[in-house]
Copies of this chain bind each other. A is one copy, B any other.
Amino acid sequence: MRIGIGDDCAVLAVEPGATLLATTDLLIEDVHFRRRYARPVDIGWKSLAVNLSDIASMGGRPRWVLVALACPDGTPPGEIEAFYEGFVSLARQHDVALVGGDTSSSPQGWVVNVTALGESTRPILRSTAREGDVIAVTGPLGRSAAGLAVLDRGAPAGVSADALADVTGAHLRPTPRVREGAWLGDAGDVTAMIDLSDGLATDLAHLAEESGVGARVEVARIPVNDSTRRIATALEADPLAWATGGGEDYELLLTCPASVITRLSEGLARAIGSARLHTIGRIVGAGEGVEFVDEGGRPVAIEAGFQHFRRRSARVAR
């Protein structure tokens, strides 16, 4: 960064040889978040997290961020400060500089827009998966949906406080896979990558469609953690539906040749202690579509079901 907040624009020096990555997200109260669950500090964190996740999903490094916040007149200043605390605490973890932004008035509800800028020498697209590649994810799925279910319906009896905190934390303050994304970008063997914001079923369908391939996922291999399973049992919900349809897990989904998955997985674990890759399936021919199968290879019907409170948005195609 050369000049930050205070002039008409931020003035930024992009690393020679790097390409610039840019992404923006508009988040509106009662569409993308509910203040009944999400405290200002959570909204600040998550509004940055979803954008850093987009940079990570290209194998890039986030460097700069601009934020615009609008709140109703009379919003206590402490709430606005808490928003920025949440935002900046995540930015600091990843050396991301806040280089622009303003706070203005909203006639109703909170409105947040975040633009994240990053760098990459070799961006990984979602449109370049190849038949025969394996499909892997960076962590357990369905946690965020489990957390939302708890926030929505109340904590079920007989589930530990740790399990409740694990899933509500995943929903309110998701951890974007920033270091993992950058490492995978540098590793060079990843053929395609996307972040899981809309849910495995939807995001994998995007990747397959844009790559002109099909995909086959073994549902038994989809990682679902104990907290999520326990809460699903207590709420009589289907953890597989959460894992495939829930969305907002912000894990990375990647494809790579089968010959390199072990090396990638071990290298990632060495570089980032907590990081793991979970192989969940294979890229197949376009004619086969996107299919979820059981251990016997039989198709499993996946509820795209969990639509409640999903981001309703459509990309502009023009």
Contacts and interface: CB of A to CB of B under 8 A. Distances in A.
Interface residues of A, number: 72
A69 B318 CA distance: 14
A227 interface: no
Interface of A: 2-3, 5-14, 16, 19-26, 28-32, 54-55, 57-58, 60, 64, 66-70, 84, 88, 98-109, 111, 113, 115, 117-118, 120, 123, 125-127, 194-195, 210, 311-318
Contacts of A127: 6-7
A318 B81 CA distance: 10
Contacts of A21: 9-12
A316 B5 contact: yes
Q: When A and B form their complex, which 7 residue pairs have the shortest distance between CB atoms, in order from nearest?
A: A26-B68, A113-B113, A104-B313, A9-B21, A8-B54, A115-B115, A12-B20
Contact of A13 (B20, B32, B100, B312): B20
Contacts of A313: 102-105
Contacts of A98: 316, 318
Given A31-B105, A103-B316, A104-B31, A123 B68 contact: no
Contact of A107 (B109, B126, B318): B109
Given A12-B19, A26-B69, A30-B107, 10 more contacts: A5-B318, A6-B127, A8-B57, A8-B126, A9-B55, A12-B20, A22-B99, A25-B68, A32-B104, A107-B109
